[in-house]
Amino acid sequence: MSLYIGVMSGTSLDGIDIAIVDINDNQILLRAAETYPFSPSLRKDLYSLINTGRAHLQQLGQVDMALGHAYSEAILQLLAETNIAPTDIKAIGCHGQTIYHAPDAAYPFSMQIGCASVIAELTGITTIADFRQRDMVLGGQGAPLVPAFHQALFHNPDEDTVIANIGGISNITILPADKRQPVLGFDTGPGNVLLDQWYQQHHRAMYDENGRWARDGKVDTELLNLLLADPFFMQPLPKSTGREHFNLTWLTNTLVAFDKPIKAESIQKTLLQLTVRSIADAVKQYAENASSLYVCGGGAHNEVLMQSLRDELTNIKVSNTVDLGLAPDWVEACAFAWLGMQTLHHQSGNLPAVTGASKPTILGAIYSSSEAS
């Protein structure tokens, strides 16, 4: 038994995903998983950091430490609920909360917070964090990092497969049946981030459950084409993006340029179609031989979005990763447990064909705990 913990909190800010995973020779068994909500004050602070891109240094330091404490409490709670001792865990792989992603800066960087020193000390478990930076030092985008895990877990020697992760931002992994062919992976654009932010402007809830509000609207083709005219969608690979680019300000500026009356629910439906079209266009361009597409992330629960994907990709089977043996909510948390294992065993975790790095490299920094086994 080799137990690892994966910790993930994504751009949707919908909570802390914790997964306890048994990994042996790339055989991956999910032992337990749970999502723990952020406290309202912590979520507010994270939202402010991400959406303004500005912070007093004291605020940044305090939120970094507070998030480390929140991660630790969630980890210890799941261990208590499952009667698994911290000493039974080999390591924690913690993605951290991305607050700024700048792959095109003069000195490219990607900043994740959630202090790993806090996690290692409070849990007594060796913790691996800061996964993106080393790939970026080698000229990579630092994202997406999950395609290596997708390859290890989901490769099908009988067909080309696409894994689509629809979180706040969407990304796809293209897994050729022929292992001699390179795996491709990249961000396709907004996933749920614009849908959630627009919904929150008009309702007292965090997201449009099952796409019910979007279902009441109609896609405005002219607005959709204006949204799709953003240069990111035409950018060559490798590429990655985040809330720094696709956010409510970006949407508001586009609506000002659109300058026509349109119902709020039709904007929601058009944003949903933006997510769908950007994924479908990427699949058609880069994975024309794929037979199946499996969705993970929160978007897998949006039936209107899933049906729209099926309508756009009529020649491909569209379902979610349950069909591959892993529920869509836990794929990313499991991925960072696996990436933590790779780092602990001095194995590379990036795919240069995906990120654009000049070579494979060991990812992350190890915060050792003398209490861990």
Q: How far apart are CA 34 and CA 327, in angstroms?
A: 12
In 114-252 the beta strands, taken as DSSP E runs, fall at 127-129, 161-166, 169-175, 184-190
Alpha-carbon torsion, ordered 262, 265, 266, 268, to 10 deg: 120
Question: Residues 13, 21: contact at Cβ < 8 Å?
Answer: no
* DSSP state for residue 149 in the 8-state scheme: H
Q: How far apart are CA 265 and CA 256, in angstroms?
A: 17
- Domains of the chain from N-terminus onward: 3-144+330-367 (3.30.420.40), 156-328 (3.30.420.40)
11 assigned to a ligand binding site: yes
* DSSP state for residue 93 in the 8-state scheme: E
12 assigned to a ligand binding site: yes
Beta strands 292-296 and 161-166 are parallel
Q: How far apart are CA 298 and CA 308, in angstroms?
A: 15
pTM of the predicted model as reported, rounded to 2 decimal places: 0.95
Q: How far apart are CA 232 and CA 104, in angstroms?
A: 12
Q: How far apart are CA 370 and CA 285, in angstroms?
A: 49
* Token pair recorded at residue 213: 């509000």
14 assigned to a ligand binding site: yes
Give the three-state DSSP class for 153: helix
What tens-digit pLDDT sequence spans the chain (373 residues)?
799 999 999 877 889 999 999 998 778 999 999 999 999 999 999 989 988 888 899 999 999 999 999 999 999 999 999 999 999 999 999 999 999 999 999 999 999 999 999 999 999 999 999 999 999 999 999 999 999 999 999 999 999 999 999 999 999 999 999 999 999 999 999 999 999 999 999 998 889 999 999 999 999 999 999 999 999 999 999 999 999 999 999 999 999 999 999 999 999 999 999 999 999 999 999 999 999 999 999 999 999 999 999 999 999 999 999 999 999 999 999 999 999 999 999 999 999 999 999 999 999 999 998 764 4
**Nearest of 249, 312, 239 to residue 275 by alpha carbon:** 312
Q: In what order do the strands lie in the sheet with 365-367?
A: 27-36, 16-24, 3-8, 89-94, 127-129, 365-367
16 assigned to a ligand binding site: yes
Q: Residue 341, Cβ neighbours under 10 Å: how many?
A: 22
